[in-house]
Every structure is written in structure tokens, then in C-alpha cells.
Amino acid sequence: MAIRIREISAMPPDEVQQDDIEKQTKKLVKKIGELQRTLYAEARHSLLIVLQGMDASGKDGTARRVLAKTSAAGVDVYSFKKPTTEEFAHDFLWRVHRQVPRKGYIQVFNRSHYEDVLIQRVHRWITEEHAIKRMEAINAFEDLLQFDNGTVVLKFYLHLDQERQREKLQERIDHPHKQWKHNPSDWDEHTRWDQYMTCYEDVINRSQIPWVIVPANVEWYRNYVVASKVYETLKELDPKLPGLSGS
């Protein structure tokens, strides 16, 4: 069944309690830190965490809070911005492949290779046919990472609704400690909401590796959903500390 983002609530379920969820998240974050250090020592698998979402959906905050107890050794975060002249001269995945995690590492993509089938499609910088070909290439690329390098790919769409995004963009103007985040172009992208939702839905439904749709209107529930999935994935990998060399 096709996923329709616009039919999914961006709010937590009514039955959950903030205090309880925050306590659970704190425990999960601690466990993620413990498992990450073992993953790094074992150097057998790696984890790629893709964070996508509209402006102000909380990609930075999610990475910072969910990975708060991990070691600086073994965790990297990369944010994909406008391609450089050199990057434009290569295929669109060239710059992405250089940032994927080596064995033992967790790599976070704050925005990702999906920008090349989202913003470029919304602004009609590429054709629909081109976008579909790129999606096929992305599916093959992610399959290669899993098959050839033991990299588990986790993809999160941080689902912020349009009204909440407007509020958060306005906060970047009204609150001095947030003004450094303000970018006038974010308001232009806000007016293209419907086009972005159409493209996101198409991307999500064409993906071979499923996306986790994360209700992101409130931070405490957003962080819990992402932390739960990251912990579950690391636990399933079941990393072990290696013994003495040669033993």
C-alpha cells in the first residue's frame, strides 16, 4: 500500500506521556552509546543514518540528541549542501559515495543523496524521467552498500506539518538565539509545500529500503522514535568485543 505522508499525523499518539517517553529515550540513548563503542571495536558492520525532512524538521537536533552518548571516534555527521563545481562535474552519487561509513562507523547524513530527487525535481531543474532514473540509481547504490560492505541503511523522514514548520521558521526571526538559523529562502520553499510532499511521497514509495516516518511536531517524541529504531538496529547487529589478536 502506498504511503501518503499528508494522511499521517505529525503529532505523538494520544496515549503516550511525555515524561515516560523522555525517560525511555534517555535509556535508549545510553544503550546506543554502549553498542556504538562495541560496533567500532568489532569493525565488522557500519550504520548509515539518513535524516530527511523539510526545513526546521529537526535534523540537527535529532542527530545531536540520539547520538549524545556515543564516542566521537566512530561517529561522523555530514550535511549535503549545494554541489561544488567539481561535484557538478561528476555523477550525482560521486560525492555521496565518498561519505559513506567504513566498517565500525556510524555515519549520519543530514540531508542526503535524496536532495537530488527532491529539490531539483520541485524546481524542475531535472526532468521527471531523469528523477526516476536517479531513484533507480539510488536503490542500486544502497543495495551495494548493504551487500558489499555490511552497511545497514536507516532512513528517517522527519514529518513536520506545514503549520508547525511556519511557526518554527518564524521563531528563527523572533528569537535572537535562533536568528543565526534564519534563511530567507526557507520561506520560498515553504510555499512549495504541496510539491515537496508529492515528491517525498514518490521517493518513499519507490525506495527499496523502507523509510521510517517520524512524527516530528514535538521534539521529545521525534527523538524517541529515531532512538528506538537506531537501538533496535544496533542490537540486531549484535556486535561483540574482539579478543586478543591471534587468540
pLDDT score for 246: 58
pLDDT score for 120: 93
20 found inside a domain = yes
229 found inside a domain = yes
113 found inside a domain = yes
- Concatenate the DSSP letters of all residues of 53-116 into one string: ESTTS-HHHHHHHHTTTS-STTEEEEE--SPPHHHHTS-TTHHHHTTSPPTT-EEEEES-GGGG
243 found inside a domain = no
- Per-residue pLDDT reduced to its tens digit, 4-59: 999 999 999 999 999 999 999 999 999 999 999 999 999 999 999 999 999 999 99
241 found inside a domain = no
Q: What is the pTM of this model?
A: 0.95
User: Number of structural domains, the chain?
Assistant: 1
pLDDT score for 1: 78
Domain containing 148 — which CATH number? 3.40.50.300
242 found inside a domain = no
246 found inside a domain = no
Q: What is the mean pLDDT of the chain?
A: 95
- Per-residue pLDDT reduced to its tens digit, 60-83: 999 999 999 999 999 999 999 888
106 found inside a domain = yes
| Pairing, β 106-110 against β 151-159 | unpaired
Range of the domain at 84: 5-236
